[in-house]
Amino acid sequence: METLYTIPVNMAFEECADSQENCCPFCRLYAELEDTELEYILGASMMEPDVRVKTNEQGFCPQHFSMMLGRKNRLPFALMMESHLMEIDRHSSRMGFVDKELPALEKSCYVCGRIEQKFPKMLETAAILWDRDPEFRKKLAAQHMLCLPHYRMLLTAGKGIVGKKKYAAFKEDVDAVFRPYFESLMADTSWFCKKFDYRYDAEPWGTAKDAPERVVKFLCGDLHTVAKKK
Cβ nearer to Zn ion, comparing 161 with 177: 177
CB-based contacts of 87, cutoff 8 Å, min separation 6: 56, 57
80/111 Cα distance (integer angstroms): 14
Helix (H) or strand (E) run with residue 194 in it:
helix 148-194
Find the part of the chain contacting Zn ion (CB under 5 A) among 49-57, 75-83, 88-96, 108-116. Answer: 108-116
Contact characters 15-54, Zn ion, x per CB under 5 A: ---------x-xx---------------------------
User: Using CB under 5 A, which of 52, 64, 114, 139 touches Zn ion?
Assistant: 64
Question: What is the closest distance, in whole angstroms, from the C-beta atom of residue 34 to Zn ion in the complex?
Answer: 8
Find the part of the chain contacting Zn ion (CB under 5 A) among 34-42, 133-141, 149-157, 195-203. Answer: 149-157
- Name the maximum alpha-carbon separation found in the chain: 68
Cβ nearer to Zn ion, comparing 16 with 191: 16
Q: What are phi and psi of 27, to 5 degrees?
A: -60, -40
Q: Which long-range contacts (CB under 8 A, 24 or more apart) does 79-84 make?
A: 79/46, 80/41, 80/42, 80/46, 80/52, 80/55, 83/52, 83/56, 84/55, 84/56, 84/59
Cβ nearer to Zn ion, comparing 64 with 139: 64
Tell me if 221 contacts Zn ion by CB under 5 A. yes
DSSP 201: T
Contact characters 153-192, Zn ion, x per CB under 5 A: ----------------------------------------
User: Using CB under 5 A, which of 111, 122, 145, 157 touches Zn ion?
Assistant: 111
Percentages of the chain per state (helix, strand, coil), in multiples of 5? 75, 0, 25
For Zn ion, the binding residues (CB under 5 A) are 24, 26-27, 61, 64, 109, 111-112, 147, 150, 221
